[in-house]
Amino acid sequence: MIKTRKRRNTGRVTLQEVAKHAGVGSMTVSRALRTPELVSDKLREKS
């Protein structure tokens, strides 16, 4: 079981929140930010 940290009220958006909003995994969000050429155009266009 993966433990999740409680979010501190920093006003920052997390990878997990972006992933949930886009309907993808957090690793996909991370990969899109770090090496976008490895992510398909279809996934990059999700919002």
- Distance CA(20)–CA(13), nearest Å, equals 11
Two tokens, residue 15? 């990878």
Q: What is the pLDDT of residue 4?
A: 67
Two tokens, residue 29? 């969000």
1-45 tens-digit pLDDT: 666 666 667 788 999 999 999 999 999 999 999 998 988 888 877
Q: Is-contact 46 22, C-beta < 8 A?
A: yes
Q: Is-contact 42 30, C-beta < 8 A?
A: no
Q: What is the pLDDT of residue 2?
A: 65
Full-prediction pTM beyond 0.85?
no
